[in-house]
Amino acid sequence: MNAPLTSAPLALKDPSLLKSQCYVNGEWIGKGVDPIINPATGQTIALVPRFGAKEAAEAVEHADRAFKLWSKKTAKERSNILRKWFDLMIANTDDLATIMTAEQGKPLAEAKGEIAYAASFVEFFSEEARRVNGEVIPTHRPDHRIIVQKQPIGVCAAITPWNFPAAMITRKCSPAIAVGCTTVVKPAPETPLTALALAELAHRAGLPAGVLNIITGDAAPIGKTWCEHPTVRFIGFTGSTPVGKLLMAQAASTVKRVGLELGGNAPFIVFDDADIDAAVEGAMASKYRNMGQTCVCANRLYVHETVHDEFVAKFTAKVRELKVGNGFDVGVTQGPLIKAAAVDKVVRHVEDALAKGAKVETGGKRSALGQTFYEPTVLSGVTKDMIVTQEETFGPVAPVYKFKTEDEVIHLANDQPFGLASYFYGRDIGRIFRVAEALEFGMVGINTGMVGVDVAPFGGVKESGLGREGSHHGVEEFLELKLMMLGGIDK
């Protein structure tokens, strides 16, 4: 059904950044039919095309033709275009953030922060493009020489989530493009407008047709087409673990590489020697960023019994200062969740915890602002039999547990299938190394609540994913090592 456009046009300095078509082979194609809804107001912002398997295959063919040219560009040529893309993202931050807040809901200041974060990957990999060096290996025979060349793997697919509509795309596409690959991208159905605006800026930066292709539409057939297409050499996915497992299975049909950034269930541990004020600050940053809708949010807060009451009192006081509302409104620090179903999941988690004996320190109920809003919540008296312990809540709920010993809390932290981010606060150097090495997670924040940055490898272990994004490691999954064994050198 074509939902009517019921919202006033977004206040953009450059209205041409608001796209309602797909970007394929350097052209805008398709007819908008699926509404993109503002989660704060329920209004329709724009309509986007509903593409499927056919268009997904066509995008791969365009990307493959472009690969043959793009991979032959010099590293400096690729670097220069990525740098221009970065410059245009920064110059258009306000419009990109406005589009993001409208479709995703996060407060405008957070959206601007994400644009800077997303742009930082483009900048970083514009520099890495020129650092992809091969090797000459000391020979085993005087008449032989051994050379290892790093070559771009080809067409890479990216399927991304709604919680970081810009950064999850640039964190995958900029390293791929930097080393000479080409890309086909399906953004989340909730938040494609940010992705399409990024494509427009890439076009303006001079990225050749077919290097970046972005289509919207039916996720399952698009994903299956790319997973099974013999020309696609890599599937990059950021999203839930169940979908990640499905894509990994589908990609096996053509022995593709996969890069999986999946679900999390981060422990946040406060030891007895922690700086409590710093721990509260770190917990606020980790827990309530994006209304708790990040894969690295503190999902379980374990506080040593000797400092528990002080931490809960100070933490709860800070949470009560959060202001819930429309992300465009001045002073709002907590916007809506992405959709009503997300709030329903939060309600289910909180009600389960209360039924099993948890206590509400603050919040604990839907906001009167509407069906997509939930009050920032702190629960105490939480135990491991509650759903919040085993499942990622993906909302503004902080379950607090008490613990007695280091061994006990390390076991509790590790005793679940996820392994993305983890955090702890403490100052004893011996404990810092013991705990950091014992935690079964891809990332450990020590006396900090934030781990995601362009220069550091981001990724998880166990059922939180495969591979690393960002940092100089971030190009490796887009490169093949080619051995050149040269004989007959003595003739």
Ligand X SMILES: NC(=O)c1ccc[n+]([C@@H]2O[C@H](COP(=O)([O-])OP(=O)(O)OC[C@H]3O[C@@H](n4cnc5c(N)ncnc54)[C@H](O)[C@@H]3O)[C@@H](O)[C@H]2O)c1
Q: Which is nearer to ligand X, 264 or 363 (CB)?
A: 264
| Position among 66, 118, 188, 214 found at the interface with ligand X (CB under 6 A) | 188
Stretch of 137-145, 177-185, 240-248, 314-322 lying at the interface with ligand X (CB under 6 A): 240-248
Least distance from ligand X to the Cβ atom of residue 407, Å: 28
Q: Does 294 bind ligand LB4VBGO6 (CB under 6 A)?
A: yes
Cα–Cα distance, 33 to 36 (Å, whole number): 10
Q: Which does 219 bind (CB under 5 to 8 A by kind): ligand LB4VBGO6, ligand X, none?
A: ligand X
* Tokens matching residue 446: 């020590």
How many residues bind ligand X, per CB under 6 A? 27
CB 157 within 8 A of CB 183: yes
Helix, strand counts (H, E) of the chain: 14, 22
Least distance from ligand LB4VBGO6 to the Cβ atom of residue 442, Å: 11
Least distance from ligand X to the Cβ atom of residue 265, Å: 9
| Position among 419, 445, 452, 465 found at the interface with ligand LB4VBGO6 (CB under 6 A) | 452
Q: Which is nearer to ligand X, 161 or 396 (CB)?
A: 161
Q: Which residue is associated with the tokens 């419009």?
A: 95
Stretch of 51-59, 118-126, 217-225, 300-308 lying at the interface with ligand X (CB under 6 A): 217-225
Q: Does 264 bind ligand X (CB under 6 A)?
A: yes
Q: Does 325 bind ligand X (CB under 6 A)?
A: no
Q: What are the beta bridge partners of residue 294?
A: none
| Position among 222, 232, 296, 378 found at the interface with ligand LB4VBGO6 (CB under 6 A) | 296
Least distance from ligand X to the Cβ atom of residue 9, Å: 26
Cα separation values, 336 from 33, 150, 178, 376, Å:
24, 45, 35, 11
Least distance from ligand LB4VBGO6 to the Cβ atom of residue 193, Å: 19
CA dihedral 235, 237, 240, 241 (to 10 degrees): 40
> What is the 8-class DSSP label of residue 16?
G
Cα–Cα distance, 238 to 232 (Å, whole number): 17
Q: Does 164 bind ligand LB4VBGO6 (CB under 6 A)?
A: yes
Q: Does 387 bind ligand X (CB under 6 A)?
A: no
- The full DSSP string for 71-129 is TTS-HHHHHHHHHHHHHHHHHTHHHHHHHHHHHH---HHHHHHHHHHHHHHHHHHHHHG
Cα–Cα distance, 24 to 22 (Å, whole number): 6
Through-space distance between the first and last CA atoms of the chain, rounded to whole angstroms = 74
Cα–Cα distance, 287 to 399 (Å, whole number): 10
Cα–Cα distance, 36 to 44 (Å, whole number): 6
* Tokens matching residue 420: 């993305």
| Position among 210, 239, 327, 419 found at the interface with ligand X (CB under 6 A) | 239
Q: Does 220 bind ligand X (CB under 6 A)?
A: yes
Neighbours of 95 (CB within 10 A): 21
C-beta nearest to ligand X: residue = 223
Q: Which is nearer to ligand LB4VBGO6, 217 or 419 (CB)?
A: 419
Catalytic position from the list 103, 123, 261, 477: 261
- The full DSSP string for 49-63 is --B-HHHHHHHHHHH
Contacts with ligand X in 455-474 (CB under 6 A)? 465
Task: For residue 261, indicate whether it is catalytic.
Answer: yes
Q: Does 124 bind ligand LB4VBGO6 (CB under 6 A)?
A: no
| Position among 160, 290, 333, 471 found at the interface with ligand X (CB under 6 A) | 160
Q: Which of 337, 363, 262, 341 is nearest to 106 (CA)?
A: 337
Contacts with ligand X by CB under 6 A lie at 159-163, 168, 186, 188-189, 219-220, 223, 238-240, 243, 246-247, 261-264, 295, 392, 394, 420, 465
Residues recognised as catalytic: 261
Give the binding site for ligand LB4VBGO6 (CB under 6 A): 163-164, 167, 294-296, 452, 458
